[in-house]
Chain A
Amino acid sequence: MQARLTLRAFALAAVSLYAWPSLANTAFVSNEKGNSISVIDTATLEVRKTVKVGQRPRGIALSKDDSELFVCLGDDDTIQIIDTKTMTVAGELPSGPDPEQLRVSPDGTLVFIANENDALLTAIDVKTRQVITQFPVGVEPEGVAVSPDGAMVVATSETTSMAHLIDWGTKTIVANILVPPRPRFAEFTPDGSELWVSSEVGGKISVIDPVKKAITRTIGFDVPGLRKEEIQPVGIRFTSDGKLGFVALGPANRVAVIDGKTKAVLKYLLVGQRVWHLALTPDDKLLFATNGVSNDVSVIDVAALKVLKSIAVGSYPWGVAITRQ
């Protein structure tokens, strides 16, 4: 199956790449056990270089101007700042212990980090590299999301099984919403009208109305031939028009494609093993998915909803971020 798919993917890649517009963006992939970042050219779909970083890199994000890459280093208890031009270490952010995921605020001034060990959400000023505030949230906070207008910050806590909604204007928690077990990731739709939270153990996506502060819809997954336990949603991304949502299903080795409006699952795309996180190119043409166990990144043609290519990266790829400029 895998071999057949790879062959097909290669054939497709050969055809599609020929016609592909050469939008040279860069995708950065964190390799959790490789202690490195793979730098991929989104036009040629090839690894340009592999850069050593600190211990256990997972969550990664780019600064607003793409000049800096923030890398959560779980075993070094810090966030490394990598200069994306030189790919050298340009500094650190005081993340606190065991940082896993982070978000940059829409205006680029703040970085939000979930501190799993301390049940805190930390906000850091990017310019001064200082902690400006911390919020006590539930046990093992992990997912962090910021609404497109920057007004709401969300942390999901894995063991508490909640999404904590924080009004960034008043700096208060305005709602704690119980979701299915082990929520790992949160993402606002591009228009900010919905917040999607993935529950890894619960196997569901909770669609939350940030105004009503309530779950309006729950999306489940059913992949024929797969046990329910194998479906463990983690990473979520939307096309910029909000028409399509993508959810990485972990050990189900699939990326689910969801209709943004009806919430119907349109398709399951077979990718590599243990798919963690996703990122779209700014033109929404390509979706990158990190496959933790098969040490590769699947590249998906968004228009065709087909897997184009798998790119071998470092050991245990986890996070992915793509330049916007």
Chain B
Amino acid sequence: MILLAFAVMTLALPLAASADPLEVKVGVLRIEHSRETISIVDIPPADDFIAGAKMAMADNNTTGKFLDQSFTVEDIKLAPDDDPIAAARTLLDKGVRYLIADLPADALLKVADAAKDEGALVFNAGAPDDSLREQDCRANVIHTAPSRSMLADGLAQYLIWKQWKKWFLVVGSHPEDVALGEAYERSAKKFGAKIVEKRVFEDTGGGRRSDSGVVQTQRQMPVFTQNAPAYDVLVAADENEVFAGYLPYRTWDPRPVVGSGGLRPTSWDPSHEMWGAVQLQNRFQRMFHRSMNARDNQAWVAMRMIGDAVNRAKTADVKAVRALMLSPDFQVAGFKGVALTLRPWNLQLRQPILLTDGRGTVSVSPQEGFLHQVSELDTLGFDQPETKCKLD
């Protein structure tokens, strides 16, 4: 049976378009993420992020073999002190015109501006900063990662639907946590929730692993959450994994935890299986022997967008590809129940936000009843009328 399949394959493979073969080189720039995660299951694997791009490359090449197009990926992993611009230049000098990046906001902007000089397109598949989509937006940066405001709004809509309107907001002490906390405050205002108290959890340093067990955590978390005004739900803003993962089941009052711990808003989770997602998860598991995390997925989406646009535009020309991606007919199949499209005013990918406890998808926002004149996906994050983005 296998032999037969092989014989047939040689017969079936060619028949590509008569045009010249098209080779599309894609560069991946990624920083190493901290291994200091609260749960060991969240420790970033060595092929974090790039695995998603590689699987999409395989997907693109399967389609490409029918169209005489091929896609390659060149991966540069940056240590914290490495220069992202030098790395970007290395790729640009090799003729790479599509970059998929998992970089902090400041590094991403520098790379984007270097890429602009070469007419290259950058996919921000990592940074959630709203500033990158608003005042610091760039015409050559497409965002497949959801912004903090999209994530916060996705969670907020569900909390409103649940009638959990009184929030106890706990924010970490890092700048990213502060920004995420602000996103939750904005969501509360936007959808009519009330923040009954905002409390800061100071990061006093220290590792996450310990042989002494959970004794201290079990005592610290109840005390930390003591004496809050009456609330329905604790919303934690902790991007640096300092405390949020310790909160569920340990709050002083018996209340659910959401945000960075407990029920989390995200672009993707290994437990997501609806809308055919199980096929994507299975393929990923087979290729990389681990499950697909949100960063992998955001890189996968970026690489699939490149593949799909090049397939349809029949050219790798950046201008043509970008124009196609911006058209309303360019719809990305992302296994989230609806087509994903780009917001033309800031190049953010519209997408549903999954709400997950890590064991399954609890709900998916936008929630029923949150209406919008253009797309209900635009009820998530900053909308066109309020955008500060000016694309040149």
Contact = CB atoms under 8 A, between A and B. Distances in A.
B333 A134 contact: no
Contact of B13 (A136, A159, A171, A203): A136
B312 interface: yes
Contacts of B283: 117, 139
Contact of B9 (A136, A157, A182, A230): A136
Contacts of B304: 159
A158 B63 contact: no
Nearest to B338: A229
Contacts of A131: 1
A162 B375 CA distance: 27
B40 interface: no
- Main SS at interface, chain B: helix
B59 A181 contact: no
A273 interface: no
Given A176-B67, A201-B333, A227-B375, A133 B8 contact: yes
Contacts of A133: 4-5, 8
Nearest to B5: A134
Interface in A179-234: 180-182, 200-203, 227-230, 232
B312 A134 contact: no
B279 A201 contact: no
A139 B13 CA distance: 14
A160 interface: yes
A133 B4 CA distance: 7
B333 A181 contact: yes
A176 B66 CA distance: 6
Contact of B63 (A139, A200, A201, A228): A139
A138 interface: yes
Contacts of B4: 133-134
Interface in B102-135: none
B282 interface: yes
A162 B63 contact: yes
A171 B304 CA distance: 30
B19 interface: no
A178 B62 CA distance: 13
B367 interface: no
Nearest to A228: B375
Given A117-B279, A140-B279, A159-B59, A181 B308 contact: yes
Nearest to A183: B333
Contacts of A119: 62
A320 to B, nearest CB: 20
B15 interface: yes
A182 B4 CA distance: 29
Contacts of A29: none
A229 B282 contact: no
A133 B2 CA distance: 9
Contact of A202 (B66, B282, B339): B339
B235 to A, nearest CB: 28
A96 to B, nearest CB: 10
Interface in B1-42: 1, 4-5, 8-9, 11-13, 15
A135 interface: yes
A182 B333 contact: yes
Given A134-B4, A174-B15, A229-B377, A116 B311 contact: no
Contacts of B276: 140, 158
A207 B194 CA distance: 52
A210 to B, nearest CB: 16
B12 A136 contact: yes
A138 B63 contact: yes
A204 B67 CA distance: 22
A58 to B, nearest CB: 11
Contact of B331 (A117, A159, A180): A180
B376 interface: yes
A78 to B, nearest CB: 15
B5 A160 contact: no
A164 B311 CA distance: 15
Nearest to A160: B63
Given A160-B62, A173-B12, A176-B15, A120 B377 contact: no
Contact of B339 (A120, A160, A203): A203
A229 B339 contact: yes
B339 A201 contact: yes
Contacts of A173: 12, 15
Interface string A138-172: 11100000000000000001111110100000011
Contacts of A139: 59, 62-63, 283
Contacts of B311: 161, 178
Contacts of A201: 331-333, 338-339
A134 B8 contact: yes
A224 to B, nearest CB: 14
Nearest to B276: A158
B375 A138 contact: no
A308 B11 CA distance: 50
A173 B9 CA distance: 10
Interface in B323-374: 329, 331-333, 337-339
A236 B203 CA distance: 58
Contact of B279 (A116, A120, A174): A116
A131 B1 CA distance: 7
30 contacts: A117-B279, A117-B282, A117-B283, A117-B286, A119-B62, A134-B1, A134-B5, A135-B8, A135-B12, A136-B8, A138-B62, A138-B63, A139-B62, A139-B63, A140-B279, A158-B333, A159-B62, A159-B63, A159-B333, A160-B63, A161-B308, A161-B311, A171-B8, A173-B15, A176-B66, A180-B331, A201-B331, A201-B333, A201-B339, A229-B375
Interface of A: 98, 116-117, 119-120, 131, 133-136, 138-140, 157-162, 164, 171-176, 178, 180-182, 200-203, 227-230, 232, 251
Given A160-B63, A201-B333, A251-B337, 12 more contacts: A131-B1, A136-B9, A138-B66, A139-B59, A139-B63, A158-B333, A159-B59, A160-B62, A161-B63, A172-B15, A200-B333, A229-B339
Which A-B residue pairs are the 5 nearest by beta carbons? Answer: A176-B66, A229-B338, A160-B63, A134-B5, A201-B333
